[in-house]
Amino acid sequence: MRQLTSLLFLALIASIGEQATAKSATLVGSSIASQAQQAQTVPEVNGQVVFQQVYAVPGKTRDAIFNELKQYLDQVLKRPNALPASRITAAETEEGTLAATLHETLWFKRSAWVSDFATIICQLTFEVRDGGYTATLRNIRYQYDALTDAQQDNLLKAEDWITDKEALTKNGTKLTRVGGKKLRVKTIDLKTTLFAGAAAACGATQSSIVKQ
């Protein structure tokens, strides 16, 4: 009887743990979606979508920050959703410039019966200096079979899908089904993950969002 009671107790604890994990994941997803729904969350510079943030790393030299960010980029290329076409395109120590072209899978829904995803192609750069760096994500495009014609260019530009004009409804209170709830939310999620990962890699703190 005691053994049965113990097994039931362990099963209850496991169930509670699974529910807490699922709730946490739901809250994170909800937070990202809520952020994406806000106007001006996706900045535009000269008509192009450009995410850019300045970070401070007090007490570290440019070379030290550069090396840590280079190691981070190497890990980014090995992420589970990274595709083989991803590569580092610039690693100029003297100029403090790091750049990579990323090809990643954005999963919208994934189950035994449904696979709804797009490929995002974008450029991630770091301009490194003594005591800090600037992170930029730009040149964002997508390949999404559900919206493309096999006989035509399959690249969808971020400017045509995730900006306030394209991804928010006319009254600005809701996200559109594809450009908003799918592409915009997942792009902001990716940007947040990449920028936060880089900051953690070199002990940086966000200084400001660059105003253009």
Contact 206, 198 (CB under 8 A): no
Q: What is the mean pLDDT of the chain?
A: 84
Lowest mean pLDDT among 23-37, 77-91, 156-170, 183-197: 23-37
Percent of the chain with pLDDT over 70: 78
pTM of the model: 0.80
The CA distances from residue 49 to 11, 33, 41, 58, 203, in Å, are: 48, 18, 10, 29, 27
Dihedral sign for Cα atoms in the order 97, 73, 119, 175: negative
- Would you say residue 32 has pLDDT above 90? no
The predicted pLDDT at position 153 comes to 62
The predicted pLDDT at position 24 comes to 38
Higher pLDDT, 107 or 14: 107
